[in-house]
Every structure is written in C-alpha cells, then in structure tokens.
A and B are shown apart, each in its own frame.
Chain A
Amino acid sequence: MDNQTSATLAKTGQGNQEINPDRTLKGGKFLTFLMDKEKYGLEILKVREIMGMMDVTSVPTTPAFIRGVINLRGKVIPVVDLRLKFGIEAKEDTQRTCIIVVHLAHTGQEMTMGIIVDEVSDVLDIDQNQIEPPPSFGPNIRTDFILGMGKVDQKVMTLLDIDRVLSEQEIALVESSAGKKGH
C-alpha cells in the first residue's frame, strides 16, 4: 500500500484540475438516486450492486465523509458518505438509505467502493442530446466531477463523474487529513 500511497501523492502534485480530454458526454443508462431531495445520476456501468444499509465499521483518523469499511463477501471495501462528501448536512440513516457499490478505474488504479445515498430511484435512458455540459460557476467552484446536466421531463439532474468524485486527489486528501479529525 505504501507504494500506491506515494504514487497517488506524486500524481496529485502534477496538476490539480486538468480536464480529462477523452471525457465525452455520451448518452446511455444512468442509475439515479436522491440526496437531500436533489436527483443525481451515475453511469450504470460503474455500478456493481446496490444494497441496503448495513453495519459499517468506522475507521479512526479518517475524514468524516469516510463512513468506514464493510464486508462485501469477504472483501473489505471502504464506504463514503456522499452527503458529507458534498458538504450536505448529515442525516440519520433511514429504511431507504442505500449503499451503491461502484467500481472505479481511474488512471489505471482499480478499486471498489461503496457510496451511501439517501435513496435509489431508478435507471434512466438519457440521450446524448439531453445532456448539457456542466455549468460554470466561476473559477473558484469545481465542476470537474460533473459529467453534465441531464434534462429529463423538464427536470435537471446532475450526472456525476464518480471516478472524479472519489478521485485519487480526494484519497490523497484523506491521507493528509488523517489524524486531524481525532480531537
């Protein structure tokens, strides 16, 4: 793991917000879910499985948005609370709270992770012409984790680039912030 750590750190140093050129707004199937009444979409091919909320073992000295680790059929995988990750106020888990297990393959590094969302709604077909590029909020607001904005039935949803949401930069951040949370 040490090697990987140093590798990610090295990569972080190279350039923070470079836009991946091969990232195209292709249409396709998206898994949609709700968080704080907002709808988000996730490319279906990244999703491995959806499961109900289960016991999560919290890992000390990691940032708050890392809820902990779970046992996925004998494999230990980390689980990220997407609410905290997006800076939305934390909420008690409900019957509808779900863990979406995603498989990330970002810059050659493969990993499986769980993300906790309020509620999974459905799978939608979204055409390329229904997708708008991400809006610009000015230079200080990051939008690179947004694939685009999907327009379905007069409503707009955020299509997430999940690789980037849980990108290695974040992981590096996790590592650097380790130990700060304690007190």
Chain B
Amino acid sequence: MSQEKLTLNDIAALIVLIEPTDIADLGRARRALNIIAESSPASVQGPITKAVKKIDQITRRKPSDPSGLLADIGVLIEKAIDAMEESAEEETSFSSSKPCSVSTVRPSAEVERSNSLSPEADPTLVGDFIAESLDLIASFEAALLELESDPENSEAVNTAFRAVHTIKGTSAFLGLDFISAFSHQAESFFSRIRDKEIRCIGGYADLAFRSADMLKDLIRIVQNSLGGEPMVTPKGLDHLMALLAKLEAGDVSAEVGETQEMRLRDILVTQGSAHREEIEMSSAAQDDQPGQSIVSDRNASLPEVGPALGKQRRMYATETAAESSVRVHTDRLDRLIEMVGELVIGHSMVAQDEMVNSGDYPELQRKVNHTDKIVRQMQDLCMSIRMVPLKATVLKIARLVRDLARRREIMINFIPSGEDTEIDRNMVDLINDPLVHLVRNAMDHGIEPPEERERNGKPRSGTLLLKAYHSGGNVVVEISDDGRGLDRNKIIQKAIEKGLIDSDKGISESEIIDLIFQPGFSTADTVTDISGRGVGLDVVKKAVETLRGRVDVASEPGKGCTFSVRLPLTMAITDGMLVKVGNQRYILPTVNIDMSLRPDAEALSTVAGRGEIVMFKGKVIPVFRLHRLFNIKGAVEDPTRGLLVIIGDGNQRCALLVDELVGQEQVVTKSLGDGIGKVQGIIGGAILGDGRVGLILDPQGIATLARQTSNPERATEVACRPGT
C-alpha cells in the first residue's frame, strides 16, 4: 500500500538510505519506480527503467561494487526528477494524479479530507493502529508533562518525537493523510525542540499539549469511522497546523542551521564532500526527508549523502530499543483465565478426593501436591498477565491537574507516587472516572487560590498527592490535598437547606462525611465548569461500589482532605467468605464484610414487633435474617446461636444472620445465565471446590431487598395492632 504513495523524491531519499544488502527496501523502491513509470511521460520513464535495471543487477547478480551501482541509481533518479519537473510544468494536470506525499508540506488549507477510510485499509490494521497510537499518545503526553517540569530533558523530547514520528509513519501507510499531515507538523515542531532551538515551556508547551489533544481527536475520528461514521476533520485542525507551521516559518531563515538537517550537514562538511556555505544555502527546512533537500539543491550528490545519512540513522537506531511485548486480544486472555479457573477447581476436586487423602497412596498424594503447586503458580501468572500498572491513569490525571490549575489560576504541585501499582486491566478504565471526579473535587473545593493560601500561612502553591499502593489484596488510591478540608458548618447548612437533615444535633463526623456522598450535594456556592453541580461524590461512591470497593474520607479543617479509594485487585476473582444458611451455602465478598459476631441476648431488641436491631459498640444496626429473606428452611433462628455478619458502611450498614462461617474461598464470578437475568441480592454464581454452584451475595442488594420487604409489612402490622 505504502509503495503507491511514494513519489520520486521519496524514492530518492529511500535510495540514499538503503544499504546495498537491504533487498526488501530495494524491492520497495523498485515497485514504487515501476508504478511511477506507468503514469509518467516518456522522458521520465527512460531514467526510471534504467534505474530499475540497476536495482535488478544489485539484487540478482550480487555485483562486486553494489555501492557504486546504488550511486548510479541515485543519479538516474535525479534525472527522472528533473524530467518530471519539466513535464509537470508543461502539464499541470499531472499533479492531480500524483498521490499526496507525506513529505510534501502543503498549506494547511489544502489538506485532503477523506470522507471514509480508503477501501484498501484493512480494518484489523486500522484497529492495531488505533491501539498503538493511543499508547503512543499516552507516552507522548507523559513526556510533555516531564518536559514541562524539566525542559532540558532530552530523553523526554526524544520520546515525544518518536511517538509522533511513528504515528506519522503508520498513518501515512494506512493512507490517513490528515493524520500524517498533522503529525508531520507536530514532528517538525518537536525536532526543533529536540535541537534546542526552542524550549518546551509556556506557549510552546501549550501548543504541544494541544497537539496531543488533536492527535487524540484524530484517532477517535478514525475509530468512529470503523463503525461507519464519516471522517470529518475536527475543528481547529487547520488552525493548529497553521500555528505549528507558522512558528516554523517565522524564524526558519535565521535558525535553519539548528534544525535536524544541521547535523547531517555537519557530517557532510566534515567529510569534505561539500562546502559549508553551499549547504547552508539550501533552505528547505520543511522537508521531512533529511538529505533530500541537500541533494535536490545539488550541494552534494546522492551517493555522498547516502553514507552520511546512514551514519545518522544508525545513531538514532540505538535510541529506539524498546522492550518487547505482544498484543493479545482480551477475549483470549479472559478465556485463558476462565480455563485456568476451571483447572483450579478441577484440581481441587482431585485433591479433595477420598482416595488421595486416605493415606493409602502416598505416591499419589505426593504427585497431587506437586500438581497443586504448578496450578497455583499458573493461576498467579494468569492473574499477573491481566494486571497493568496504574501509570496511564495517573498520567491522565496529571494532565487534568495541569489544565485545571491553569484554568482556575491556582498553583499546584502534583506529586504522584506508586504509579507502578498494578491493577486488573478491566478495572483501569472503570476507576478512571471516579479518580478524575475526586481530583476535580480536590482542585475546586480543596485547594485555595494563592492569595488565600498566603493569608492562611500556607505556601502559595498547593500540593496534590496521588498515592497508589497494595494493601491486603486491595489496591488503594489516595488523593490528598492540603487545602481547606471539609467545612463542617457549610456541609450542615447545605444539608439542612436540601432537607437531608433537620438540625446538626448529635451528628457525628462520619455522618457528616456520609452527607457529602448524597446525590445532588454540593457546597460550592457557584457552579463552575469544573465542579459544583452536585453530581460528583455520589457518582464516585456508586462507581466504586459497583467495583466492589469503597471510599473513605479523612479531613482536617484548614489542613486538607484525603479521599482513599479501596478496590479489589480484580473483578474476575472474588475473595469471599463461605457462609452456611440452612442447607444452602453462599459466598459473601470479603470486601463488604466489616466483622462478624455472635451477639448477646441483651444486645438484641425488636422494634415494632418486626424490625430487629443489634446494639454494637454503641451503634444501632438493623438485623436481617438471610433465611427469611431467601425463604430457606432449617436455618438457625436464634441470633445468639447463629452469627451476625456486619456488612456495608454508613447508612447501608446492616447485620446479616447466618448459621456459621464455613471458610474463605477465592472464586471466579460467573453470570447465572441469561435465562434467569438479574436476581436481587445475588451478584452471580461461582463454582465451588466441590463442583457445585455457589451464589455470591450482593450486600447492597440484600439490604435494599430487606427494606423493601420489611417496610410494608411493618406498616400493616402497625395498622393491625395499633396498641403496640
């Protein structure tokens, strides 16, 4: 595909870059030449045919002096270019049939807009391109953030440059001209930064970030186009391209010696193949194929530029050594993990077999134990495959912090730590939104403007810490600011306004914290574009809870506030307690369990003959009998002989009556099958060690279910027996 896009100029550049042993690239050049020859006037065809013949000589006969032949080819192509230029002057219509070349910088207004993907673009290739580009853009942004704090960081510049360069190359390959044209501009911009001509600070940094956003938009457009939507270039593309180009044009004549070509020129000059003055005259800085402009300006001949460029290219090659990895489709990963889950269950069924445990076959037992180890390792490995570091999320947040700080005109030191903490791939996307909400919240409500901070004796710039770490099978992400902290009075005042509470009498700190998680609650006096609409913390809480995690808040007025989000490592595996109720066993996710206790008779009391409560550490907690909710026969009826498991937190806190705890188990969550649909109080099923299906309880659902079923009954009971 890409060969068709090559122009003679490209081939010329390609030829100078080629090593004579590189058959593949020679073949590429040959094909491209043939294609051009087909659509060219006779004057151009002559030299091209000769060049093709020379290439054949190199590839087939293995001549003694391939470099000499390459030089001849270069000369022939130069001739062809000349001939082409002449014929183009005569016949202007030719240029319309000439494919849009990557290396040609056109005025932005002329950028071609394709309305759909070119038919030859393979959707899977495009899909890979999208995934790859998104990764690249992420690393690009990361590099920009690094650059902003350390403009001299040449490694970051190189990362940014390489990212854009790769996107340019691949998009050109796929015929996504608008992306390649844009990334070309961005690339030239970065090449100037790399050559220390400009520094990536202030306005330039903004421009760089805008380029990153634009690239993201462009990739999204391609993604949508896979779904059949027409590709429309986004607003501002032309403007941004013009900006990037103008910057270049503005000082190009004065600073041309500093651009990418300068190095090449230095190499040439030291080789003595050209006079410095002559080369400095060549002023085609916009050309992205280095060397080409020098050649076309006749300062040095192709064969001379070739080796010099080769030298330059080898210098780059050492920089781009990347760690090797394979992209695997998540479906396959999920299936692998599912099957390993099956294997674990299958194995535990064998291990629990009577014959193995009877002691009569020590050899068998030994073998089973050995397999056990392998299976466990395999399970751990499988889990680790799915794990990805939080880095991408943290970077997104860093970017957000930067933008918000600019917009709100506050100063913030964003200090992330533990970006390498790993979490399940599927969770990464899901925790992004809650974390973004929390950060927005901290920046809008927490950290004060510099003047106010100064008045309060704090440093002018606020600090926002993002700390991620593992703790007891969970991932904890803490977001702390050193801002105002929660304003108790303001929260109470707002809560009374909203009718959430009647007065502040007897309200504990934890209840105040619960208030800020109420839907529609906001203490912001004005609605800003950042936050204050009152959709925030309740959404955060819900999102985290659906991930089977929880949010904790610690706040100190005037000193700051810390939100910590605690999440399980993965959604695929649930850490649970196996509880027995009658003849049924259920799995209660450990993350929801606060504690379990066997109550004293005095701690229990009954409200209105029906609603049961337990007093625990001075708090009143409603008791729900699981056997009654689920209509299970033969369960323990007396709470003092059973076990109360306290689940949930805040308002949702309740105690479930079960017979006993059987043990702890790690299970793979499965849907109950489409035939049943959603069952209230049940998250899903899991295959237990004995091969039977166990149901995983959903504490929130159970609490809701219990309230639904108990309320009307209580009402009718009170109605029937008004005396009680």
Contacts and interface: CB of A to CB of B under 8 A. Distances in A.
Interface of A: 1-2, 4-5, 8, 55, 57-62, 66, 68-71, 73-78, 80, 104, 109-113, 166, 171, 174-175, 178-179, 181-183
Interface string B653-684: 00000000000000000111111111111101
B515 to A, nearest CB: 28
A183 B630 contact: no
Nearest to B339: A74
A8 B678 CA distance: 12
Contacts of B679: 59-62, 178
6 contacts: A58-B584, A71-B693, A76-B686, A109-B674, A175-B678, A182-B628
Contacts of B446: none
B505 interface: no
Does more than half of chain B's interface fall in helix, strand or loop, or is it mixed?
A: mixed
A178 to B, nearest CB: 6
Interface residues of B, number: 36
B629 interface: yes
Contacts of B671: 1, 76
Contact of A57 (B341, B680, B681, B685): B685
B709 A62 contact: no
Contacts of A8: 677
Nearest to A171: B677
A178 B691 CA distance: 27
B542 to A, nearest CB: 14
Which residue among A78, A109, A171 has the maximum number of chain B CB atoms within 10 Å of its CB? A78
Nearest to A4: B674
A121 to B, nearest CB: 25
Interface of B: 338, 341-342, 345, 584, 628-632, 670-682, 684-687, 691-695, 705, 708-709, 713
Contact of B682 (A4, A60, A70, A181): A60
B691 A183 contact: no
B693 A66 contact: no
Nearest to A57: B693
A57 B687 contact: no
Contact of A71 (B630, B631, B692, B708): B692
A54 to B, nearest CB: 9
B705 A5 contact: no
Contacts of B694: 57
A174 B708 CA distance: 18
B673 A78 contact: yes
A181 B631 contact: yes
A76 B685 contact: yes
Nearest to A80: B675
A49 B484 CA distance: 65
A68 B684 CA distance: 12
A166 B629 CA distance: 26
Contacts of A174: 676-677
Contacts of A171: 674-677
A60 B672 contact: no
B709 A113 contact: no
Contacts of A104: 675
List the 5 shortest-distance A-B pairs measured between CB atoms, nearest first.
A60-B630, A111-B674, A78-B675, A76-B685, A57-B693
B676 A78 contact: yes
A76 B687 contact: yes
A77 B631 CA distance: 22
A8 to B, nearest CB: 7
